[in-house]
A and B are shown apart, each in its own frame.
Chain A
């Protein structure tokens, strides 16, 4: 395991705040980012699609991002190497609630079908220059609609 934060004498001050009638003690650990992901390896081993939902908080604001990555290879005996496409799509505020539901409840079959089909195709087309990137981002984001 990696090294852990060492003890700090000043910490006793924080602990002293806990007691009858006192305000709850501030947390020791404060999350600033969370990412959950689902990766599908196709049975032939030639394609890997990764769909991640990332929540970032800076203490005031909350942002949601879709991290979409597509790997392809022609020989499944060799590593995937660099992704064909790696797109981070900011989730519109209007879809934040949907993003939270997807993170907490999982993707529905329709959302999964969209992620592995149209979203992957759009990402690849954007990478090949046959589809404008914002259009591809919009299609990817539709996974949360």
Chain B
């Protein structure tokens, strides 16, 4: 039998028939200025030479992808350009080189899907030349967080994050940022993040800061994360230090604090459309103000050391063209004895973004946000803990992964200038609605249109996502208690296989020269089954699942059936050895028992869990393929309405501007919003401007 396998496999390896089942996409339509290449022509026997080689990767705008693509392109040109065309060198050999270049980082716990296509173009029958084009697409989409509104915003400015192409190249990331606010002047700063070696509790150390002539904000963070598969799909934890100083009218507010926090994200539910998040944070620091001439509301102190506990939770969802998140946060603050709650702050934040494709890669984007806050003060509260609104943003917890806005934003008023209430400076309640509508008038898709619109490409990529879901399903099947029961039978099965093997060896010794092929087949199947039993007992976690399955009818190999067929039927059917009969019978019985346990695994539940895990990934990739642009210019319409209390009034601020996004390089929004019902000491409106730039090391 072993000889048969060897011969058969050798045949399989060499036998190539003239026709086969093909999935190669159809040719692209004729392109102007490019000679056609005719199907059915063998360019190798036709003695064509390679005139030019091109490597095309949609993420070539990233430094490290560009570097590797250039390297591969140079090597392929060296190998192919000016040389006779062969299918082996231009096809399989070149693809092996591309694979070895590793265009995707090795991030533990992730999966990578890849698509590589080799085409010939510009086939000049007269000159006997052609060009070879390599189109590469690889992605390692993060499973956790894919449904969050924050992820969608990140996808628009830095699409490489949702493609999983960030953690490669330099461990240091440096992203400059800037902006302008009439209250603060021109701002400049940035974020520096250093990836820490794996194995420790934290994976990133980052420094973040911005400053202008009148404000400064600095933060240092140690952060870590984990993405276990299970009811909780993702954990984040952080240690933060922050120091902020900012003007608020004639005052200056400052805050210095140290905090520790965690948050978690559940596995999606409700048909994979929704997931929940929750977390907590402990903070200690000081809040100060220069409020000397400004009346303070009751129970408010200008400066104090404080401590606070925060709890927060929320729901997020993502559908094909919509992301939604609703969050609630509660802060219990104290400036007195630590056991006393001096103030309670409640925050509700609802954010929605939907985009309607009005043409290829031209989505009408509508971002809307409703935020409300309420402070209850049973004892006293520092002034800086109250609500100060305007064109500056502020969040309930540090970090980008979950942003819960906790200030009334109205872009028509400079930052921190919307705070006067009937009781003095700083509101104890607010509600704000913010609307931003944009539509690209100039754009260039990230994914070339001929690729993103290619049904074959879409189907092939979707198939790889199915493979990822299958791997996830196996993980959940491996976690099923019935698998553990089946797995626990392996030592017994190993012993029974050994016993049978001994019986077969003894029988062969007793009958030298008899039934040589049957003895070989039986021994080979016993070796294979024992090999898989041993492999399954090695410590390799989820891969054990396949090693147990291959012993049983769950896998086409069905090792134990092969043992039965070769030993009990083919061999012992003629030999009738009692020890072999007994040994084979024991193996059969054990196999039946194991298969019963294996079959009890709830595959339906495992499949449902896997589908939910992957659902957001598919939607995110759809957005990447069909909606996102590497470059776009969009007019922007904004509308804000905000009210603060008690008796602070309502402000309404319509406006407009322009947004430029050059994915991963720079993005900025510049506009002006009018304060249509301005009050005394308020301007007629305000310029709003923000800018983000690419990571300088990636």
What is A's interface to B at a CB cutoff of 8 Å? 1-8, 10-11, 14-15, 18, 25-45, 47-48, 50-52, 54-65, 67, 69, 71, 76-77, 79-80, 88-93, 96-97, 99-100, 102-121, 125, 131-132, 134-135, 137-139, 141-142, 145
CB distance from B458 to the nearest CB of A (A): 11
B602 at the interface (CB under 8 A from A): no
Which of A28, A35, A39, A116 makes the CB contact (< 8 A) with B27? Answer: A28
What is B's interface to A at a CB cutoff of 8 Å? 2, 5-6, 8-44, 52, 54-56, 60, 69, 73, 87, 90-92, 95-96, 99, 104, 106-124, 126, 131, 133, 197-199, 228, 459-471, 473-474, 477, 528, 531-532, 535-536, 540-547, 549-550, 554-557, 603, 606-607
Which of A8, A31, A52, A131 makes the CB contact (< 8 A) with B33? Answer: A8
* Cβ contact within 8 Å between A63 and B20: yes
Which residue of chain A has its CB nearest to the CB of B132? Answer: A32
Roughly how many angstroms separate A71 CA and B197 CA in the complex, as a whole number? 20
Roughly how many angstroms separate A116 CA and B116 CA in the complex, as a whole number? 22
Roughly how many angstroms separate A116 CA and B470 CA in the complex, as a whole number? 11
Roughly how many angstroms separate A33 CA and B109 CA in the complex, as a whole number? 30
CB distance from A116 to the nearest CB of B (A): 5
State whether A139 and B557 are in contact (beta carbons under 8 Å apart), knowing that A14-B36, A62-B22, A100-B21 are contacts in the complex.
yes
* Chain B residues whose CB sits within 8 angstroms of the CB of A11 once the complex forms: 32-36
* Cβ contact within 8 Å between B555 and A114: yes
CB distance from A26 to the nearest CB of B (A): 3
* Cβ contact within 8 Å between A34 and B118: yes
Query: Mostly helix, strand, loop or mixed at chain B's interface?
Result: mixed
* Chain B residues whose CB sits within 8 angstroms of the CB of A1 once the complex forms: 56, 60
Q: Would you give 25 A-B contacts (Cβ < 8 Å), ordered by A? A: A3-B54, A7-B32, A10-B126, A14-B35, A29-B31, A30-B27, A31-B27, A35-B116, A37-B114, A38-B464, A38-B467, A90-B14, A106-B470, A107-B467, A109-B471, A114-B556, A115-B546, A117-B549, A117-B550, A118-B535, A118-B555, A119-B546, A121-B531, A134-B6, A135-B6
* Cβ contact within 8 Å between B37 and A26: yes
Among B5, B471, B554: residue with most chain A CB under 10 A: B471
* Cβ contact within 8 Å between A30 and B120: yes
* Chain A residues whose CB sits within 8 angstroms of the CB of B20 once the complex forms: 61-64, 93, 96
7 smallest A-B Cβ distances: which pairs? A117-B546, A27-B27, A106-B466, A7-B33, A45-B108, A26-B36, A113-B546
CB distance from B153 to the nearest CB of A (A): 27
Not counting A26-B38, A59-B41, A119-B546, a sample of 11 additional A-B residue pairs whose C-beta atoms are within 8 angstroms of each other reads A26-B39, A28-B37, A29-B31, A29-B121, A30-B37, A31-B119, A41-B112, A71-B106, A90-B13, A113-B555, A116-B546
* Chain B residues whose CB sits within 8 angstroms of the CB of A10 once the complex forms: 35, 124, 126
CB distance from A11 to the nearest CB of B (A): 5
* Chain A residues whose CB sits within 8 angstroms of the CB of B15 once the complex forms: 92-93
State whether A113 and B37 are in contact (beta carbons under 8 Å apart), knowing that A38-B468, A52-B99, A105-B463 are contacts in the complex.
no
Roughly how many angstroms separate A52 CA and B96 CA in the complex, as a whole number? 11
State whether A3 and B52 are in contact (beta carbons under 8 Å apart), knowing that A28-B29, A28-B121 are contacts in the complex.
yes
Roughly how many angstroms separate A96 CA and B116 CA in the complex, as a whole number? 19
* Chain B residues whose CB sits within 8 angstroms of the CB of A102 once the complex forms: 463
Among B52, B106, B462: residue with most chain A CB under 10 A: B106
Which residue of chain A has its CB nearest to the CB of B22? Answer: A62
* Cβ contact within 8 Å between A116 and B114: no
* Cβ contact within 8 Å between B38 and A5: no
State whether A42 and B557 are in contact (beta carbons under 8 Å apart), knowing that A59-B43, A80-B106, A138-B9 are contacts in the complex.
no
* Cβ contact within 8 Å between A28 and B92: no
State whether A40 and B38 are in contact (beta carbons under 8 Å apart), knowing that A29-B121, A113-B546 are contacts in the complex.
no
CB distance from A29 to the nearest CB of B (A): 4
